[in-house]
Chains A and B, each alone.
Chain A
Amino acid sequence: MDTIFALASAPGRAGVSVIRISGPGAFPALTRFGLTAPAPRAAALRLLRDGDEVLDQALLLAFAGPASFTGEDAVELHLHGSPAIVASTLRILGEVDGLRMAEPGEFTRRALENSKMDLAQVEGLADLIDSETEAQRRQAQRVFSGKLGEVVQGWRKDLIRAAALLEAVIDFADEEVPVDVRPEVTELLDRVSVSLEAQAKGAEVAERVRQGFEVAILGAPNAGKSTLLNFLAGREAAITSNVAGTTRDVIEVRMDLRGLPVTLLDTAGLRETEDEVEAIGIARARERAELSDLRIYLLEPGEISPRIELRPEDIVLRGKADESGDSAGISGVTGQGVDALIARLSTYFSDRTSLVATATRERHRLAILRALGDLSQAREMLANPVYTEDLIAEELRSAIRALDSLVGIVDVENLLDEIFSSFCIGK
């Protein structure tokens, strides 16, 4: 039995995100985070690690089957909600042998199979199915529309062709088919692999597209960051005051920027400080800003150049224009320059959205990674005559199956169609 996992709470920036893992591999999977399962049914607060790096402080719940919601061994990870953390955690779980992301409804199905679901609850399933179907339909539309649709169709075509060539030399060995299809198959699989790799990289950005972009506002203490944020958000989200160092840690405000979900991060002011607590806040601010998609640096009046190393896309502005009277500056008090900033942000992100135009879910990324693994195996075998076509075909089938959710199901009939239209088969 496979072990499955999925994000159980709604994706996005919820307060807490819950990831569920169910199956025989649920407890062992925790070792990947440097953890062991806590006593069943007792919540434990633990650091989730990826190697040496701390991912998050998470609440951990373990349930030994059959006393769990699915009837199998199960684990719940309650994370601190940041999409980046959730994404990393899902990614890591996907890399654990024997674990895979659940299909929609699969937890329910397991619960039902192990008599963990009251038959009265069944009626609830109806809604679940409706909403799933709708979600899947929308998802499919998103994935297969536009540029990505073309890319995916290209994979499908190449994979079918490659598989058909291999199957042709297997199933029609006594017919007039080419004797050696390896060069063409190799070429096709190389091409698909390159494209998949590009997507695998891009897909991470795409995941963020779906969940929103992060914009960090940086600058010296009291450069006018919080005032600007408040103006942008149209509400008092961050505490602003004139005492330097008021904004400790990071404050987030989510907003809809001309249709794009954007989260603004207000960070602690950057300066040298003796105050230990404030130093931690500053460090966090830098760290967080480092991970953000875009940074706005506000220069305080009189400041000549930013106190950070600039990245090419960083936006540098003069803050507190209401005080300095700088006509090229920006002010959260008067709103001067805000429209121009919004225009700049939205252009930047729309450009990026169309640039990546890629698979929008971690599921797809995992599928792609799995397929890439199989394909690289197949490519290696193609180059070595000791590996026979049946084994290569098996790797290829496995790759195609992994990509089901993207390229659609590839069936033996698709392969036969390709074979019969390319070769004159028939005695």
Chain B
Amino acid sequence: MKQSEFDVVVVGGGHAGCDAAHAAARAGARTALVTLKMEGIGVMSCNPAIGGLGKGHLVREIDALDGVMGRVADLAGIQFRLLNRRKGPAVQGPRAQADRAVYRAEMLREMTSCPGLQVLTGEVTDFIMQGDRVVGIVLADGSEVHARAVVLTTGTFLRGLIHIGDVSYSGGRMGDNAANKLGERMESFGLPLGRLKTGTPPRLNGKTINWDVLEDQPGDDEPVLFSFLSKGVNLRQVACGITHTNTRTHEIIRENLDRSAMYGGHIDGVGPRYCPSIEDKVVRFADKESHQVFLEPEGLGDDTVYPNGISTSLPEDVQHDYVRSMKGLEQVEILQPGYAIEYDYVDPRALDMRLSLRDVPGLYLAGQINGTTGYEEAAAQGLVAGLNAAKEALGEDPVIFSRTDSYIGVMIDDLTTRGVSEPYRMFTSRAEYRLSLRADNADQRLTPKGIEVGLVGDSRRAAFEAKMARIGAGRAILDNTTVTPKQLNTAGIRVGEDGKQRTLYQVLAFPETSVVDLVGLAPDLGDLDPETQEQLRRDALYATYIQRQQNDAQALQKDEARGIPQNFDYEHLDGLSNELKSKLLRIRPSNLAQAGRIEGMTPAALALILSRINRAQKEKSA
């Protein structure tokens, strides 16, 4: 039996797995990425697109920490759009249509060229245990890989069940086997498991689409990329087509509802409300006569088209009929039918903020296995789990993200304290500090942290420091130049004669004011490059709000810093209501801030918990 030694083993080469393995290796751990097959690395199971609202923020944060998703998406992008361009920068989200094949190839290159990272193939069927601790994995061929920490990122594969109409069979996704042995192994840990489901539309042959009669949706003229290091697009850019469902389409669907896996009662798992199947849309919004469908090319060298908006679990013949009822698709050929998939997930409340299972030391979980959906959510968790697995393996301090510093922190806090009731997806509205957690300042927020914990390489570090120096210089000019209303009006910036002196930074916060407008008042500003000017404007725009939130954020950070031991004895804490006790026991908050968010919590109850922690610490140090 072959044996090998690693600090960290990551299981699964999907989006969570890739960023997990890369992060672990960057953090200095000898890392192995074990996945079913090489061609499976970086596969996008569903939609060939990265980013979007909230999700684009996550990709930027991953990039700020030197992760791979943003870089790879930039190389594979065939259409870039910045969503919410006309709304404030805080809610703008970069999104890209990706060439699937290029995405996979570039991701594979990242994995195979990363120092300290080795890719192995095989099906993981079991864990090697030492007491209740996971110390490695066992492959289907019986070989063992030992490690100090294991990160599991098996996506939809744990006891995956594919449904097309009334046909269902075991599978991890179309064309892949499910991981049933591992699923059973997970169950044996006594973890809280649940079932979720998701679906995907049929894939179409682009050569059989009548593009001439369809509207198209082009990308932005000036593409906004994901990575702070990318300079420009890599591939030829293309447009997507747009078609619509119509009353005929809806009729076909309605007539066949009982043949849909979902409506026929074959599926128990809960699906995401923001990704309803076309059956769902037709039933729930019965008075709507038409829905938009985006026809997204899956790559430059590939004729496959992804029809975004019609995911389904109807039988193949019905899919065929309803797709052909749409304009431009009259003759279309289906390359792969749409389907729904049901899979096991682990209630993420069983995890701590490192994404490590509380009751199974040495085992970390990331990605869809934790009840989320989406590549970006998966990759961001991968980064956190991989990093912390490395830290544990190397005997270093954990790295925790906070709701006040990142969307990553928001997501992990949401997952570990609230769990999920449907597949979890990021939205900007989940971030209470949305105005400070912007996609444009992800590097300012996180790269210093990344440098500190050893996650950021030299070239990014140098680029970041140079950028901050430019911003710092611009900021100094803005802060040190004070102007009167009269000066402003002379410079063409309309302001009431209120006699108030303002710094140029304050002036920059006026809506629709740019650095260029201020050059007359401080000529040195003209020397700043346009990107620095723009970043200064974005920072200034929200300055007052951010200041307002600072009190809140500081109080929260203070509470986040006060850890609650996992074995904290709530049972014997007099003065807590039974209801509160049982909630605390179930959620086992990692820190005081999480405890404070539990419904029904009062400051007095928090004080009580705090006093116990203090006492325990005193006794320890005494």
Which residues of chain A have a CB within 8 Å of any CB of chain B?
1-2, 103-106, 108-109, 112-113, 115, 117, 119, 122-123, 125-130, 132-133, 136, 167, 169-174, 176, 386-391, 393-394, 397, 409, 412, 415-416, 420, 424-427
A415 with B429, Cβ < 8 A, contacts A105-B602, A171-B53, A173-B87 known: yes
**Contact among B276, B576, B614 for A119, CB-based, below 8 A:** B614
Mask: chain B, 118-147; 1 = CB below 8 Å from A; 0 = not:
000000000000000000000000000000
Contacts of B189 in A (CB 8 A): none
Measured CB to CB, the nearest residue on chain A to B276 is A426
**Contact among B47, B430, B554, B614 for A1, CB-based, below 8 A:** B554
What are 28 A-B contacts defined by CB distance under 8 Å?
A104-B603, A106-B603, A108-B603, A109-B610, A112-B611, A113-B610, A122-B611, A123-B574, A125-B575, A126-B574, A129-B605, A132-B602, A133-B602, A170-B429, A171-B53, A171-B91, A173-B83, A387-B511, A388-B86, A390-B88, A391-B545, A397-B432, A412-B430, A420-B274, A424-B276, A424-B281, A426-B280, A427-B275
CB distance from A172 to the nearest CB of B (A): 8
Measured CB to CB, the nearest residue on chain A to B599 is A409
CA distance A117 to B608 in the complex (A): 11
**Contact among A122, A172, A394 for B434, CB-based, below 8 A:** A394
Measured CB to CB, the nearest residue on chain B to A117 is B611
For chain B residues 471-485, which have a beta carbon within 8 Å of chain A?
none
Size of the chain B interface, CB-CB below 8 angstroms? 57
Measured CB to CB, the nearest residue on chain B to A424 is B285
Flag if B84 contacts A173 (CB, 8 Å). Answer: yes
Contacts of A130 in B (CB 8 A): 575
Which residues of chain B have a CB within 8 Å of any CB of chain A?
47, 52-54, 83-84, 86-88, 90-91, 95, 273-276, 280-281, 284-285, 288, 291-292, 294, 308-309, 427-430, 432, 434-435, 511-512, 545, 551, 554-555, 574-577, 599, 602-608, 610-612, 614-615, 618
Other A-B pairs, 16, CB within 8 Å; known A108-B603, A109-B603, A171-B427: A1-B554, A2-B555, A103-B602, A104-B604, A109-B607, A125-B604, A128-B575, A170-B53, A170-B428, A171-B53, A172-B274, A387-B511, A389-B91, A391-B435, A394-B434, A409-B599
CB distance from B246 to the nearest CB of A (A): 15
A105 with B603, Cβ < 8 A, contacts A412-B427, A416-B427 known: yes
Flag if A1 contacts B555 (CB, 8 Å). Answer: yes
CA distance A129 to B577 in the complex (A): 9
Contacts of A117 in B (CB 8 A): 611
Measured CB to CB, the nearest residue on chain A to B427 is A171
Flag if B88 contacts A133 (CB, 8 Å). Answer: no
Flag if A170 contacts B607 (CB, 8 Å). Answer: no
Flag if B292 contacts A176 (CB, 8 Å). Answer: yes
Contacts of A388 in B (CB 8 A): 86-88, 91
Flag if A390 contacts B435 (CB, 8 Å). Answer: yes
CB distance from A176 to the nearest CB of B (A): 6
CA distance A110 to B298 in the complex (A): 58
**Contact among A109, A174, A389, A415 for B88, CB-based, below 8 A:** A389
A167 with B607, Cβ < 8 A, contacts A1-B551, A173-B83, A174-B83 known: no
Measured CB to CB, the nearest residue on chain B to A420 is B273
CA distance A109 to B603 in the complex (A): 6
CB distance from A42 to the nearest CB of B (A): 30
Among A103, A169, A393, the one with the most B-chain Cβ atoms within 10 Å of its Cβ is A393
CA distance A380 to B494 in the complex (A): 19
Contacts of B614 in A (CB 8 A): 112, 115, 119
CA distance A148 to B427 in the complex (A): 34
CB distance from A254 to the nearest CB of B (A): 31
A173 with B603, Cβ < 8 A, contacts A133-B577, A397-B432, A412-B429 known: no
Flag if A129 contacts B602 (CB, 8 Å). Answer: yes
Flag if B603 contacts A386 (CB, 8 Å). Answer: no
CB distance from B393 to the nearest CB of A (A): 35
Flag if B285 contacts A104 (CB, 8 Å). Answer: no
CA distance A85 to B599 in the complex (A): 35
CA distance A108 to B614 in the complex (A): 14
Flag if B91 contacts A109 (CB, 8 Å). Answer: no
CB distance from B532 to the nearest CB of A (A): 22
CB distance from A296 to the nearest CB of B (A): 44
Among B292, B435, B607, B612, the one with the most A-chain Cβ atoms within 10 Å of its Cβ is B607
CA distance A113 to B602 in the complex (A): 15
CA distance A53 to B47 in the complex (A): 69
CB distance from B92 to the nearest CB of A (A): 9
CA distance A420 to B280 in the complex (A): 12
Among B53, B294, B602, the one with the most A-chain Cβ atoms within 10 Å of its Cβ is B602
Contacts of A103 in B (CB 8 A): 602-603
**Contact among B294, B427, B608 for A427, CB-based, below 8 A:** B294
Measured CB to CB, the nearest residue on chain A to B90 is A390
Measured CB to CB, the nearest residue on chain A to B81 is A174
Flag if B606 contacts A109 (CB, 8 Å). Answer: yes
Contacts of B611 in A (CB 8 A): 112, 117, 119, 122, 125
Contacts of B291 in A (CB 8 A): 176, 424
CB distance from A109 to the nearest CB of B (A): 4
CA distance A117 to B610 in the complex (A): 12
**Contact among A106, A122, A389 for B608, CB-based, below 8 A:** A122
CB distance from A185 to the nearest CB of B (A): 14
A389 with B308, Cβ < 8 A, contacts A104-B602, A109-B610 known: no
A174 with B545, Cβ < 8 A, contacts A103-B602, A109-B603, A397-B432 known: no
A167 with B429, Cβ < 8 A, contacts A122-B608, A129-B576 known: yes
A416 with B84, Cβ < 8 A, contacts A125-B607, A171-B53 known: no
A105 with B605, Cβ < 8 A, contacts A170-B429, A412-B430 known: yes
CA distance A104 to B605 in the complex (A): 10
Flag if A126 contacts B434 (CB, 8 Å). Answer: no
Flag if A386 contacts B602 (CB, 8 Å). Answer: no
CA distance A49 to B435 in the complex (A): 40
CA distance A391 to B434 in the complex (A): 10
Contacts of A136 in B (CB 8 A): 602
Contacts of B575 in A (CB 8 A): 125-130
CA distance A105 to B606 in the complex (A): 9
Flag if B608 contacts A129 (CB, 8 Å). Answer: yes
CA distance A113 to B285 in the complex (A): 53
CA distance A48 to B146 in the complex (A): 74
CA distance A386 to B86 in the complex (A): 10
CA distance A125 to B615 in the complex (A): 15
Contacts of B599 in A (CB 8 A): 409
Contacts of A106 in B (CB 8 A): 603
Flag if B87 contacts A389 (CB, 8 Å). Answer: yes
CB distance from B215 to the nearest CB of A (A): 15
Contacts of A426 in B (CB 8 A): 273-276, 280-281, 309
CB distance from A24 to the nearest CB of B (A): 11
Contacts of B83 in A (CB 8 A): 173-174
CB distance from A408 to the nearest CB of B (A): 10
